[in-house]
Amino acid sequence: MASVLAELSSPGVALALPNGTYQGNAFATNSNIKVGPIGVALGNTAFIPCPCTGTNGDTLSSSVNSLTAGVGGNILNGATAISTVHTAETTTAKIVRNSSTIQALNLLNGLITADALIAVANTTATDSAVISDADGSTFANLKIAGVPVAVNVAPNTTVRLPGIGNVTLKKTVTVGNGTTASSIVVEMISINVTLANSFGLPVGAQIVVGHAASGFFHTTTSVVVAGTSWVTYVNAAAGSLLQTSIGLTAPSGIGCQGTGGKILTNSVTALNVAGVLSLGTGNTTAIGGPTATGATAKTTATLQNLNLLNGLIRVAAITAVAETKIVNGVRTRSTNGTAFTGLKVLGINLPINVKPNTKIALPLLGYVILNEQIIPPATSNAPTRVNGLHIRITTANSLKLPVGTELILAHADSSAYNF
């Protein structure tokens, strides 16, 4: 990146501000499907995406006050985690800096410890070059099996984990031609389970701690697409326990350049939080991209066998659908396909085609909005959003859910707009 900045300061160099889209995201922890049910506690904690059009100089963030996974936190313990995304412009460059910071980390019952770690993904784009690096990524007092690891450990260093497998430190992957596109993914700790172990982690399981990604792509397209879907989400007001046990599950998303004609999918099974939520299965999809006449973006979220708040809400199935299209410059929005099967609230059967934004009071708890639809005007670039169920806790309750807690199930959003 230093060479790019030097180019910008060289006399006689007159570069135009590049046209293109920002890329990236950051999160504290994640795992693959092989991990099993514990993956819900590890999945996409403190996740935040970088908007395609940037943050306009602001720093956006997501955080959790504590991290825990496994029995008594034997897989993961951490004090705090914060993820940030930030973009800025100079007169000749566009800059992306995304990061994930975790304090007081303890993994695998002390096999890996660190006072702190920070993953940083940087990308700088000019009219003639796009460069990405991991400058700023570091560990503080990292130890593996009690052995200190150098602060300046080389990227992609692999260390054996006795009785488990191995860990890759500061795993870094950069792609792009360096002229019109570049992106980087930084994962500070990437654990690979290759052996049967006392933690019960299946062989093939992977756990990532400290992830940051950034990128920039020059583009001449006049339309950008985006979209996300997820099965469950709980806000920070619910507290760290619910954030890590429910969190943001099974997300699927459409990147700024679309999905290349493919339907992206994700899923979760057997999610249970005593007294709060029981879920059989959940699935999400995302597809979108440019078309001959404009662009299209569509996401879906489907849940089955749902029991909420000790049976106050029961659903056999929910499907949320959000679709946005631009055809010959005209934007249209649709939620067709959004539906419920076997929906009961307070023991009362409700129809399959619940009216959008139906609000029902939940005694001694708060209220639930069914088929919540947020559909902006056709002239707005804001996304089309659908929440199958949106629960808000407004009063002290026997379930001990904090006032201010929000629980969203079956979320889908999509957007397409002129760039």
SS3 readout for 38-57? CHHHHCCECCEECCCCCCCC
Cα 387 from Cα 140, distance rounded (Å): 41
Residue 287 · residue 377 · CB < 8 Å: no
CA distances from 291 to 21, 294, 322 (A): 18, 5, 18
What is the value of pTM for the model shown? 0.80
Which helix (H) or strand (E) is 243 found in, with range? helix 240-245
Cα 245 from Cα 38, distance rounded (Å): 9
Within 13 A of 234's CA, how many CA atoms are on the CB side?
Answer: 24
Residue 395 · residue 375 · CB < 8 Å: no
Cα 161 from Cα 170, distance rounded (Å): 16
Q: Which two tokens stand for residue 164?
A: 């488990």
Q: Which of 180, 375, 380, 415 has the alpha carbon at shortest distance from 294? A: 415
Distance of CA 65 to the CA centre of its chain: 17
**pLDDT tens for the chain, residues 1 to 419:** 544 444 444 444 445 788 888 999 999 998 887 777 677 667 778 899 998 889 999 999 999 888 888 888 889 988 789 999 999 999 999 999 999 999 999 999 999 999 999 999 999 999 999 999 999 999 999 999 999 999 989 999 999 999 999 999 999 999 999 999 999 999 999 999 999 999 999 999 999 999 999 999 987 667 889 999 999 998 878 876 677 777 788 899 998 878 999 999 999 888 888 889 999 999 999 999 989 899 999 999 999 999 999 999 999 999 999 999 999 989 999 999 999 999 999 999 999 889 999 999 999 999 999 999 999 998 898 999 999 999 999 999 999 999 999 999 999 999 998 76
Distance of CA 412 to the CA centre of its chain: 13
Cα 293 from Cα 240, distance rounded (Å): 46
Inter-residue long-range contacts of 356-365, CB under 8 Å, 24+ positions, other chains counted: 362/309, 362/312, 362/391, 364/395, 364/397, 364/398, 365/309, 365/312, 365/391, 365/393, 365/394, 365/395, 365/397, 365/399, 365/401
Distance of CA 240 to the CA centre of its chain: 17
CA distances from 190 to 29, 86, 112, 159, 170 (A): 10, 24, 11, 10, 8
Please give the biggest Cα pair distance in the chain.
Answer: 74
